A and B are shown apart, each in its own frame.
Chain A
Amino acid sequence: MKFTITRQNLHNGLAAVSASIPSKTTLPVLSNILFEAREGMVWMSGTDLDVSVRVKVPADVKEEGSLTAPGKKLQEITRELPDQPVEVSTRGDQIELSSGHSNFKFNGLPAEEFPSLPQVQFDEGWRVGGADLQRLIHHTSFAVSTEESRPILNGVLWELRDGSMRMIATNGHRLARMGVATAPSNAPSADFIVPPAALQHVQRLFKGEEELMVARNGNHLGFGSEAVEVFSRLIEGTYPNYDQVIPRDNDKVATVPKKALESAVRRMAVVASDQTHRIRLKFETDRVHLNVLTPDLGEGHDEIDVGYAGEELEIGFNANYLLEVLRYMASDEVKVTFKAPERAATVEPVAEGDESIDYLCLIMPLRLLD
Chain B
Amino acid sequence: MSDVLVVAEHRRGELRDVSYELLTAGRELADSTGGDVHAAVISGDVDSYAEDLNREGVDAVHTVEYGEEFNHGVYTQAVEQLADEIDAQYVVAGNTVNGLDFVPAVAERLDLPLVTDAVAFETGDGLSVIRELYSGKTEGTVEVDSEEAFVTVRPGEWPAAEGTGDAAIEAFDADIDESELDTTVNGFEEVGSGDVDITEADVLVSVGRGIEEEDNLPIIHELADALGATVSASRPIVDNGWLGQERQVGQSGKKVTPDIYIAIGISGAVQHVAGMKGADTIIAINNDPSAPIYDIADYGIVDDLFDVVPALTEEFGG
A binds B: no
Contacts from B to A (Cβ < 8 Å): none
Contacts from A to B (Cβ < 8 Å): none
